[in-house]
Amino acid sequence: MARVLHNLLLFLLRLAQGVRVLGYWSLIYGYCALCTTVALLKLWWSIILRPTTTFQWVIRETPPGCLNDTSLGTHCYVRIKESGLRFHYVAAGERGKPLMLFLHGFPEFWFSWRYQLREFKSEFRVVAVDMRGYGESDLPLSTESYHFEYLVTDVKDIVEYLGYNRCCLVGHDWGGTIAWLFAIHYPEMVTKLIVLNCPHPSVFTDYALRHPSQLLKSSHFFFFQLPRFPELMLSINDFKALKALFTSRSTGIGRKGRWLTAEDLEAYLYALSQPGALTGALNYYRNVFSSLPLSQNHVRSPVLLLWGERDTFLEQEMAEACRLYIRNHFRLNIISGASHWLQQDQPDIVNTLIWTFLKEGEGRKSYRN
């Protein structure tokens, strides 16, 4: 009798787990369907209002001059033996100085750190990487190639290739997520962690599940799960949606700060118009729901979190909640008037706050190998 009850209990537990998993994926794909319907309606409406809508785009063959600005650094490449992938990065500052590594977000590339490359090269070896799937780095075709574990390992391999065993790590948006995860899994390799407009992964997950407002702001996560259609929506009318993302009043770069120039915008369009570029960028989102949970989630490095007050993609309340996951010094600065792209529209303030943080505590000697 006891054995029968034991087996019945196991069956019920497995059934409950199966129902939970089924409900989880039903919710995700149901929301995907809703977001797709909204996108289709917008597309249909734009075709009616603008019959000249074109589904083709121009592949930019010549990079704008700003990408070859020598004041930003030297263009370099590295092929990682383990993954076989080639990465592009821009480096400045003397070799042997402490390493400051920059990880960009979506839909950007190394160029988003142009103001920081100029600022910190005086005392650091500054390196801004094109992450896998972006810019001139390799673009793996399979979605599985963009799992978090591979993205984190990329950072480790690049740091070691550059001849360092630790660095000051700076990340924004998706680059911020990878920076958080890298600091969690390789704490000995991060002297200080600087994250811009990206909450700790556990904070984002918990908050989004409990606050419908954030779930609505994250609707693009669900829409981007679809194959090919998001690429179409982002690229029609010569990347009109991406242009709006960078320049509109609600989401764009620069309101009270520095505006994105026409040449700066063309640099982004040059990178994103290359074959496969949009798919590589979107594959970061296509793995987010299937990634394994963190085995442990506390950060032991000193952390600076910078947050743009005008971020339209993330609720500001998540920033303070990150404190719960820091086992070291934590500084949070909310920058008034700054957008989600705060290192570009408020670079002077961002750079000043980073300098202040770098000079706190252990001092500059802590950055050397």
Structure tokens at 100: 């400051």
Q: Give the CA-trace dihedral at 7, 10, 16, 21, to 10 degrees.
A: -130
Which among 281, 261, 238, 237 is positioned nearest to 345, based on CA atoms?
261
Please confirm, yes or no, whether 173 is among the known catalytic residues.
Answer: yes
The secondary structure of 286-298 as a DSSP string is GGTTTSPPPS---
Q: Which of 173, 264, 311, 345 is catalytic?
A: 173
Positive/negative CA dihedral, 255, 260, 262, 267: negative
Which token pair is 24? 């989880």
Q: Phi and psi (nearest 5°) for 183?
A: -65, -30
Q: With b meaning 16 or more CB within 10 Å and e meaning fewer, what string describes 319-356? A: bebbeebbeeebbebebeebbbbbbbbbbebbbebbee
- Please answer whether residues 315 and 321 qualify as being in contact, where contact means their C-beta atoms are separated by less than 8 angstroms: no
- Dihedral of CA atoms 126, 112, 344, 162 in degrees, nearest 10, equals -10
Task: Report how far residue 185's alpha carbon sits from residue 177's, in angstroms, rounded to the nearest whole number.
Answer: 12
26 residue type, one letter: S
Name the strand (E) or helix (H) holding 183: helix 174-185
Distance from the first to the final alpha carbon of the chain: 65
Residue 340 among the catalytic residues? yes
Q: Catalytic: which of 164, 186, 285, 325?
A: 285
Q: How far is 91 from 76, CA to CA, in rounded Å? A: 7
| Pairing outcome for strands 303-308 and 86-92 | unpaired
Residue in 154, 186, 340, 367 annotated catalytic: 340
The region that residue 50 occupies, defined by phi over 0 for left and psi between -120 and 50 for alpha, beta otherwise, is beta
Contact predicate 180/200, CB 8 Å: yes
Query: Residue 332 has which token pair?
Result: 């949070």
Beta bridge partners of 94: none
Residues marked as catalytic: 173, 285, 340
